[in-house]
Structure 1
Amino acid sequence: MLTRHQANIRGRDFFVGDIHGQYRLLQEVLQGVAFSKSEDRLFCVGDLIDRGGDSLDCLKLVFMPWFHAVRGNHEELASNALREGEGSSAWALWMINGGGWVVESGVGETRRVLQAALRHLPLAREVTVKGKRIGMVHAEPPTDWSRIEEADPRALVWERSRIQRGDETPVADVDAVVVGHTIVERPLTLGNVHYIDTGAFCTGRLTLVDARELLR
């Protein structure tokens, strides 16, 4: 459910929005901040795959020691589809939502990589930055971060009620929370919740934020 990360004493921490198979775009934004894979860490809000042709390469990022993501709804769509198989309703739903890349990547290879990757994709992460705590889930955090391990897994991966309401109530017991899932024109903050999915697959804008900026 939750993976905690102690402070990075060697380098910087960054958060990045939904990647959706945009591997080359990710490399460009990392180059733009002179990202060091030996010292810096990158935290991704999930949805590494679908709607982009380099989805398999993006999924393999979870095996890199500098990359840390949470599970998104597209990882769940793919997992359900690959479990139930071609011809199932789960497979059709995945195809409608951008899973067509599996044809080129190969069903067998994709299944193998995804099954291994899911072990590196908890539903939530918590990062200590400058003595403060930043939480991360894909879609919607609970109202109280201290109850994150009791939260509804579906809400963490799929829900949008907070942003739909424009709810500015801060999440209790945490300094900031970073989420993706809902495309916003530009990064949006409601209370202490930061929405950073700027629709890389359709806009070409992949948001990368220095963790220290979230605490200002």
Structure 2
Amino acid sequence: MELITKHEENASGRDFFVGDIHGQYGLLMQAMARIEFDTSRDRLFSVGDLADRGKASFECLSLAFAPWFYGVRGNHEMLAHAALNEGSGRAWDLWQINGGSWVYLHNVHEVRALLDGALAHLPYARMVEVDGKHIGGVHADPPQNWESLAREDPSADRHALVWGRTRISEMDRTPIAGIDAVVVGHTIVEQPTTLGNVLYIDTGACHSGWLTLIEAREVLAR
């Protein structure tokens, strides 16, 4: 899977970022309706964790194939992938402990096929141009210098991109070099939180019912 996907300016519509959806398909549709999201012109960038914990995880994973939806892979996609493909009882148990019980609502072979197909559309990182500036998106910890991703450095720490919490655990406000702003999820915050030029937008939709959806220009203005 490619490390990063880059997107040029959206000349015809708006760009938005959305936090961890976690199977809350209805909440996403409501949020999109409130902003009058136009699927023919607007783009939605997800910071990962489409699935698990919510019963509509199958529908949320299917979003990866929508032409207006651009996600990155989260740790829950990787948990599910390990459980469904490695044949390990431990991997399966770990997935179930972390919200994978929705799989029992579907045919497990169909879920595996859907997830494998979705992962092909979910790189580790994305970068989008907005008003001549650049916003990055990863699920968890971005690198200290974004250029390591922009030049697709093979030594980039993929595990940190999907699982890391070092930056927020240390409340590190050091700006990420080589990028104007980065949007991430993974760690639940009571409200969108900025550390340096990194914006955390996982507001715990599966627990709080609050799914954060923010326009890209607002990210740059924070």
Instruction: Say whether residues 1:75 and 2:77 are aligned partners.
Output: yes
The aligned counterpart of 1:165 is 170
Instruction: Say whether residues 1:102 and 2:103 are aligned partners.
Output: yes
Cα deviation per residue 1:47-75 (whole Å; 9 max; x = unaligned)? 00000000000000010000000000000
The aligned counterpart of 2:24 is 22
Provide the rounded CA distance (Å) in 2 between the counterparts of 1:45 and 1:118: 13
C-alpha displacement of 1:43:
0.2
C-alpha displacement of 1:105:
1.7
Provide the rounded CA distance (Å) in 2 between the counterparts of 1:185 and 1:117: 29
Provide the rounded CA distance (Å) in 2 between the counterparts of 1:162 and 1:139: 9
The aligned counterpart of 2:44 is 42
The aligned counterpart of 2:128 is 127
Candidates 204, 214, 219, aligned match of 1:214: 219
The aligned counterpart of 1:114 is 115
The aligned length equals: 215
Provide the rounded CA distance (Å) in 2 between the counterparts of 1:164 and 1:39: 37
Candidates 62, 86, 89, aligned match of 1:84: 86
Secondary structure of 1:127 counterpart: strand
Instruction: Say whether residues 1:152 and 2:157 are aligned partners.
Output: yes
Root-mean-square deviation over aligned CA pairs: 0.7
Provide the rounded CA distance (Å) in 2 between the counterparts of 1:105 and 1:25: 21
Cα deviation per residue 1:84-113 (whole Å; 9 max; x = unaligned)? 23x610000000000000011220110010
Secondary structure of 1:58 counterpart: helix
Which blocks of at least 5 consecutive residues in structure 2 are unaligned?
Answer: none
| TM-score (ref. length: structure 2) | 0.96
Instruction: Say whether residues 1:138 and 2:139 are aligned partners.
Output: yes
Query: Which runs of 4 or more aligned residues in structure 1 lie more than 3 Å from their structure 2 counterparts after TM superposition?
Result: none
Provide the rounded CA distance (Å) in 2 between the counterparts of 1:172 and 1:196: 20
The aligned counterpart of 1:58 is 60
Which of 142-151 and 109-118 deviates more? 142-151
Provide the rounded CA distance (Å) in 1 between the counterparts of 2:128 and 2:191: 23
User: Residue 173 of structure 1 aligns to which amino acid in structure 2?
Assistant: G
User: Residue 124 of structure 1 aligns to which amino acid in structure 2?
Assistant: A
Secondary structure of 2:120 counterpart: helix
| TM-score (ref. length: structure 1) | 0.98
User: Residue 177 of structure 2 aligns to which amino acid in structure 1?
Assistant: A
Query: What percentage of aligned pairs have identical amino acids?
Result: 60
Which blocks of at least 5 consecutive residues in structure 1 are unaligned?
Answer: none
